Amino acid sequence: MNCVQLIFSPTGGTMRAAKAITDPWGPGVETIDLTDPALADRAFQKEDLVLIAVPSFGGRVPELAAQRLTKMRGNSARCVLCCVYGNRAYEDTLVEMQDIAEKQGFRVFAAVAAIAEHSIMHQYAAGRPDTKDTETLRNFSRTIWEKFNSSQEGSSPAVPGNRPYKKAGGAGLVPKAGKECIRCGVCAAQCPAQAISRDAPQKTDGKKCVSCMRCVVQCPHGARKVNGAMVSVAAAAIKKACSVRKECELYI
C-alpha cells in the first residue's frame, strides 16, 4: 500500500493544506506535481491511498489540473479530494473533482474543502491555512485514516455542487513583466501552462495563461505583476463574500 498526493499548487497554498492532511499518514507519502508540464502517466493499485488537491478557480477545477489528472489511472484506489479556495466560495469544484476522479477509476471516500490565502487578492484569507486550519485538517486526517483502515468500504460522500457545473471563467488577469525584468527565465521555467517565452520572457501567451500567479510568486526580482486597477475592481466585487471567515469542511 502506498500513500500518494496529487497536487496542483502554483503558489503554495494548496500544497500547505494538502500537507496538513497527509503529514499524519507518515513520512513515506509520495508527491506528484500536477503543475509539471512533463508529468508522466501513472497507474495506482487498489490498496493505495491517494489525495487529490487542487485550488478552486472561480468555483471550478482548473482546466490544466483536470487535463493532467487524465494521466492518472486509479484502478479502484481509494481517494480523498481536497479543494482549496480563497475564502469566497468553492461552488462546483468538489463535485467536478469527484466526477474526474471517478472517471479515472478512483473510489472517492472522503472530501475536504480548505482555505488558503487568495492567490491574487492577498488581503482575503491572508496567512491561511493558519494554525487553527492546520489543526482542523489534521483532525480530518485522523478521521479519514480511521475510515481507510476500517473494514467497511463505505459509499462516496455527498459533496456540494451542481451538475451541470457553472460556466468556467476566462484567465482574465495575465501577469506582465515590468522594467525590473532581467530575462533570467525563472518565470518561463516555472510556468505550469508553458505560456511564457523562454527566449523573451516579457512575452506571455494570454490564451495559454491560466492566471495561476506562479510566475508572480517565483520571480526573484518582483518583475511580474497583474493590472492593479483590475485587481482592485475584482477585490471590491467579492469583498462581501470574503468578509466572513470560512472554516474547513469534511465530507465523509
For the stretch 163-177, pLDDT in tens is 999 998 765 789 999
pLDDT score, position 244: 95
**What is the distance between the alpha carbons of residues 229 and 244, in angstroms, rounded to a whole number?**
24
Whole-number percent of the chain with pLDDT over 90: 90
Can you tell me whether residue 165 is helix, strand or coil?
coil
pLDDT score, position 109: 95
Average pLDDT over residues 237-241: 93
Order the strands of the 30-33 sheet from edge to edge.
30-33, 3-7, 49-55, 78-85, 107-115, 249-251
User: What's the pTM value of the predicted model, to 2 decimals?
Assistant: 0.96
Q: What is the pLDDT of residues 126-158, one digit of tens each?
A: 999 999 999 999 999 999 999 999 866 667 899
Quick one: which of 227, 231, 8, 216 has its CA closest to 116?
8
Helix (H) or strand (E) holding 107: strand 107-115
CB count in 10 Å sphere of residue 235: 16
Please provide the average confidence, as pLDDT, over all residues in the chain: 95
Given a cut of 60, whether residue 110 has pLDDT beyond it is yes
pLDDT score, position 171: 55
Given a cut of 90, whether residue 201 has pLDDT beyond it is no
Strand partners, 60: 57
Given a cut of 60, whether residue 45 has pLDDT beyond it is yes
Average pLDDT over residues 206-230: 94
DSSP 8-class letter at 169: P
Tell me which of 14-18, 134-138, 223-227 is least confident.
Answer: 223-227
Sequence-ordered alpha helix ranges (H) in the chain: 13-22, 63-69, 93-103, 131-149, 186-190, 214-218, 228-242
Domains within the chain, CATH numbers bracketed: 3-164+245-251 (3.40.50.360), 176-226 (3.30.70.20)
Tell me which of 10-19, 76-85, 144-153, 159-168 is least confident.
Answer: 144-153
